[in-house]
Structure 1
Amino acid sequence: MSSTWFSHWRHAFKLDPEKELSDEMLDALCTSGTDAIIVGGSSGVTFENTVDLMARIRRYELDCALEVTTLEGAVPGFDGYFVPLVLNTDKAEWIIGKQIEGLREFGSFVPWDETAAQGYIILNEEATAAKVTEAHTDLDEAGVISYVQMADRLMRLPVIYIEYSGKFGDMNILKRVRDKVEHGQLFYGGGIDTVDKAREAAQWAHTIVVGNIVYTDLNAALSTVEAVKQSK
């Protein structure tokens, strides 16, 4: 793999190791035509539940990546690894602190060619990730663009992630953000639970990530795959 091992992704499902998912549901997701499965969550992620989910996904031929949010959940064997940096917070531990802690313990084991930083900009104040990281979610368009430019132009992060986890975001902001991204890959996640929302988000983001709806309406989640593929 190269440093752009995820560059072909247009659609990905994000699965939480803490949440229950039947074998039938997982089979439907992994054979849906999605480009990848991302494993990760904001709470309750352990070595055991992460290993279990990875082993189940490994039966299928599609990319499987881990978003490393806890040291306990840092599991070898994935195709790739994302290290999130929450940019819109004053808490340095979520920008660099926990990442340094992880590297002090596991730095010699990191598969660098398959590891990429994600510059997260969290914009839903009700999201668990926003509460845990104390993210400043009340940003106007200019504020969001400033964070995007810092991530893309100054930090040169490979992934810029606009996250509205739990609700559908402002597509006008996403459109403006797309115009400002020159180097990184723009991910969008949050509230994608219909074909129309999937198409709209995919119009501006390089990659859309579908998560919560998987657990409440599987058919709606599956419908987003073809919607994105058709929007190329």
Structure 2
Amino acid sequence: MYTERYEEWRHVFKLDPEREIDDASLERICMSGTDAVMVGGSSGVTFENVVDLLARIRRYELPCALEVSDLEAAVPGFDLYLIPMVLNTERTEWLTGKQVEGLQAYGSYIPWESTAAEGYIILNAEAEVARLTGASCELDTAAVLAHVRLADRLMRLPIVYMEYSGRFGDMRLVSQAAELLTQARLFYGGGIVDATQAAEAAAAAHTVIVGNIVYDDIEAALTTVEAVRQSAIAPI
């Protein structure tokens, strides 16, 4: 199973197939020393733009994961398929509805040995993903940690993803979440704009996802790789 590989990831660049990235910048991202590239986005993800981005990434030797947010964009050829399940939403289609729809359509073709579920906890109400999924983002510490326990101990999900999308999160809360986990890996994503924030996130979470800064400041994005590598590994 691919578990053994993503459990070793400390730094991941997340690329949005709807957004443009030139070949030179993509090469620098893929040759940066990052542990993997994740492809995914909240909107505008199509079969065509995912295929195009995958083909470009495949020029380089590094793991490439697809976060399946739209059935139409479920493209074969990735090393790992990540299936988001939004835990803090009342819209059940984002927890199990779309997943069941996908299983009805493609259940016989899913490469289960390369597929893993992510228990998303979305914590920025201003983020597009929060509006799209109807996430209840104004959670106090107790509620967030209850969602973490739900994912880790009741649902036994392999990944818990704390998503602040566009805003740097509360690293004390992220660290508390990581310490609660008994078998899941904690992914953190949101608002990382420099090496300092990347190092802070790496000290709190098991895996740090760096996304928007790739498109805003490629030089700053590249500094996050070494910052994560040099930081102490979060407890597992």
- TM-score range (shorter-chain normalised) is over 0.9
Deviation string 1:29-54 (CA, Å, 9 cap, x unpaired) is: 00000000000000000000000000
SS in 1 for 2:108: helix
Alpha-carbon RMSD across the aligned residues, in angstroms, is 0.7
Q: Name the counterpart of 2:147.
A: 147
Q: Is the 8 A contact 1:185 1:206 kept in 2?
A: yes
Rounded Cα–Cα distance in structure 2 between residues aligned with 1:48 and 1:82 = 19
Matched AA of 1:20 = E
Matches within 5 A, 1:12-31: 12-31=12-31
CA positional deviation for 1:82: 0.1
Rounded Cα–Cα distance in structure 1 between residues aligned with 2:77 and 2:108 = 15
Rounded Cα–Cα distance in structure 2 between residues aligned with 1:4 and 1:85 = 21
Matches within 5 A, 1:80-229: 80-229=80-229
Q: Name the counterpart of 2:3.
A: 3
Q: Is the 8 A contact 2:2 2:80 kept in 1?
A: no
Rounded Cα–Cα distance in structure 1 between residues aligned with 2:162 and 2:150 = 14
Rounded Cα–Cα distance in structure 1 between residues aligned with 2:143 and 2:4 = 28
Q: Is the 8 A contact 1:5 1:114 kept in 2?
A: no
Q: Name the counterpart of 1:45.
A: 45
CA positional deviation for 1:117: 0.0
Matched AA of 2:211 = G
Normalized against structure 1, the TM-score is what?
Answer: 0.99
Q: Is the 8 A contact 1:47 1:74 kept in 2?
A: yes
SS in 1 for 2:43: coil
CA positional deviation for 1:182: 1.0
Q: Is the 8 A contact 2:89 2:134 kept in 1?
A: yes
Deviation string 1:131-171 (CA, Å, 9 cap, x unpaired) is: 00000000011110000000001001000000000000011
Instruction: Work out the number of aligned pairs and report it.
Output: 232
Normalized against structure 2, the TM-score is what?
Answer: 0.97
Matched AA of 1:201 = A
Q: Is the 8 A contact 2:172 2:204 kept in 1?
A: no
Matched AA of 2:89 = T
More displaced stretch, 1-10 vs 41-50 = 1-10
Rounded Cα–Cα distance in structure 2 between residues aligned with 1:68 and 1:175 = 27
SS in 2 for 1:101: helix
Rounded Cα–Cα distance in structure 2 between residues aligned with 1:155 and 1:187 = 17
Rounded Cα–Cα distance in structure 1 between residues aligned with 2:196 and 2:131 = 29
SS in 2 for 1:119: strand
Rounded Cα–Cα distance in structure 1 between residues aligned with 2:82 and 2:183 = 17
Unaligned runs of 5+ residues in structure 1 are none
Matched AA of 1:8 = E
Matched AA of 1:141 = T
Matched AA of 2:118 = Q
Rounded Cα–Cα distance in structure 1 between residues aligned with 2:142 and 2:108 = 39
Rounded Cα–Cα distance in structure 2 between residues aligned with 1:46 and 1:2 = 25
% identity of equivalent residues: 60
Q: Is the 8 A contact 1:21 1:215 kept in 2?
A: yes
Q: Name the counterpart of 2:73.
A: 73
Rounded Cα–Cα distance in structure 1 between residues aligned with 2:2 and 2:19 = 31
